[in-house]
Amino acid sequence: MREHRVWKEGRVKPRSVDGMEDVYDAFCTVNGGKPGRMDLIEWQRLCEDCGFFEPDKGRRFSPDQADAIFSKVCETQAKDCGYVDFRWLLDLSAEAKGVSYARLCKAVLRSGGPR
């Protein structure tokens, strides 16, 4: 597990943002999933519903990038992640899109949850 998490070294743990855990919980259960556990399908849905795949300043965040980020953050054998790892998913996604973590969180909160 140590080797899997080496990418975190030197990075600041993403902070919790008010309201974000509620959005996370809503997406966790959108397709009959488990509360407090987000799988890859639910993560892809969040990325789509929140507009992550829209062009932003000439950059494009693709479904393949979303999948790669999910695989990077989650344990190699895990099929889902909790809220703390969800924040890491958002942090790495913000980096991939070339926006701040705070800006990406605002976009997620504006989405209002699953459609």
The domains of the chain, with CATH numbers, are 17-111 (1.10.238.10)
pLDDT of 1 > 50? The answer is no
> Model-level pTM?
0.87
| pLDDT score of 22 | 92
DSSP string for residues in 53-68: TS-BTTB---HHHHHH
**Alpha-carbon dihedral of residues 78, 94, 110, 55, nearest 10 degrees?**
-110
Which residue reads 């997406």 in tokens? 27
56-85: per-residue pLDDT in tens? 566 667 888 899 999 888 866 678 889 999
39-59: per-residue pLDDT in tens? 999 999 999 888 888 665 666
Q: Which band of pLDDT confidence, cut at 50, 70 and 90, is reported for residue 115?
A: confident
Contact (CB, 8 A) for 5 and 73: no
